[in-house]
Amino acid sequence: MHFQWYPGHMTKAKRMMQENIKLIDLVIELVDARVPISSRNPDIDELGKNKARLILLNKSDLAEDKWNDAWSEYFREKGFSVVKVNSKKGGGIKSINGVIQEACKEKIERDRKRGILNRPVRAMVVGIPNVGKSTFINALAGKACAKTGNKPGVTKGKQWIRLNKNVELLDTPGILWPRFEDQAVGLKLAFIGSIKDEILQTEELAAELVTFMNKNYPGVLESKYNVEEDTDPYGMIARIAESRHCLVRGNELDTEKASVLLMDDFRNGRLGRLTLEYPDAY
């Protein structure tokens, strides 16, 4: 399976990110809890060096909690602050302000020693497309978000959201690209729906997902769709089509429709909470 990407705006996005990062104390990096490594940008550690770092395992509601905990531990050992969040439902959001203060305590202490008191921490949200950046900013800022407007000394046009007296957040997230040249990464991002379906063959993708499920979550498809085991992924898709009455012209199996249904069920958590990569491999 080959993935095509359209890296047209990548250079511009990276340049903007480099500019914005100069203005901030803390990088809040969102990753997808189902694929915490594949949904990271390869340059982010270089871009974010010398900044306080917070990783949010977003969409944690869709990933297995034991792996969410294992990944939290993995990133903590690497020196990141970590929070499991569900931006859509607000899970974990309340703890964020406290964690930001903790993540920036060295900077706050440095300021204090230099006689600078109560300067708010400035933060920026970054992540690859579709990881939940806008949803997170809305959940964190809520309705009360008051834009602070331009400030002297700050690049014109930047908007800061004052979260409270201690924290200001850049209102536009930094969009970064994943390790798109790696086909294994591309496949996982296609599973979770980060790559547009139009550029992929749905049946081929669904067959890859069946193969993954058979290996890592045996029995789940069988019980969800009430079908017999089938080691051939295309055979399994046909069984799902049969079981769900996906038919064309009356009685022919519509495997394309079954593939769309399977991908949709997977992406929306209807196959259960599933994690696609595990810390021991990294």
First to last CA, the chain: 24
Residue 61 as a binder of ligand G4P (CB under 6 A): the answer is yes
Angle ∠(102,105,110) on CA atoms, nearest 5: 175
By CB under 6 A, tell whether 38 contacts ligand G4P: no
From candidates 20, 86, 255, 259, binder to ligand G4P by CB under 6 A: 86
If binding is defined by CB under 6 A, does position 88 make contact with ligand G4P?
yes
* Contact in structure between 244 and 261 (CB atoms under 8 Å): yes
Which one of 58-66, 144-152, 157-165, 183-191 is the stretch in contact with ligand G4P (CB under 6 A)?
Answer: 58-66
Stretch that binds ligand G4P, among 85-93, 162-170, 199-207, 224-232 (CB under 6 A): 85-93
- Contact between 275 and ligand G4P per CB under 6 A: no
Q: What contacts 24+ positions apart, CB below 8 Å, involve 179-186?
A: 179/38, 179/40, 179/41, 179/42, 180/3, 180/5, 180/7, 183/1, 183/2, 183/3, 184/38, 185/38, 186/3, 186/5
Find the shortest distance in angstroms from Cβ 104 to ligand G4P. 23
Binding segment (CB under 6 A) for ligand G4P, from list 63-71, 72-80, 86-94, 213-221? 86-94
Report helix, strand or coil for 126: strand
- Rounded to the nearest angstrom, the gap between the alpha carbon of residue 94 and the centroid of all alpha carbons in its chain is 19
Query: Do the bridges between strand 52-58 and strand 81-84 make them parallel or antiparallel, or are there none, so unpaired?
Result: parallel
Q: Which is nearer to ligand G4P, 36 or 127 (CB)?
A: 127
CB of 185 to ligand G4P, least distance (A): 17
Contact 227, 239 (CB under 8 A): yes
Is residue 281 exposed (0-12), middle (13-18) or buried (19+ Cβ within 10 Å)? exposed
Amino acid at 10: M
Residue 39 CB, shortest distance to ligand G4P, in Å, is 10
58 binds ligand G4P (CB under 6 A): yes
Residues 169 and 161 sit within 8 Å (Cβ to Cβ): yes
103 vs 192, which CB is nearer to ligand G4P?
Answer: 192
Interface pick for ligand G4P out of 62, 108, 140, 207 (rule CB under 6 A): 62
Of 56-64, 110-118, 150-158, 207-215, which part binds ligand G4P (CB under 6 A)?
56-64
Which contacts of 220-227 are long-range, i.e. CB under 8 A and separated by 24 or more positions?
Answer: 220/271, 220/272, 221/262, 221/271, 224/265, 224/270, 224/271
- Toward ligand G4P, which CB reaches closer, 52 or 131? 131
Kindly state the DSSP code that residue 154 receives in the 8-state scheme: S
Query: Shortest Cβ distance from residue 61 to ligand G4P (Å)?
Result: 5
| 51 lines the binding site for ligand G4P (CB under 6 A) | no
- Which of 21, 69, 10 lies closest to 46, judged by CA? 21
Q: According to CB under 6 A, which residues from 105 to 144 bind ligand G4P?
A: 127, 129-135
Question: CB-wise, 121 or 126, nearer to ligand G4P?
Answer: 126
Using CB under 6 A, count the residues that bind ligand G4P.
15
Residues of this chain that interact with ligand G4P (CB under 6 A) are 58-59, 61-62, 86-88, 127, 129-135
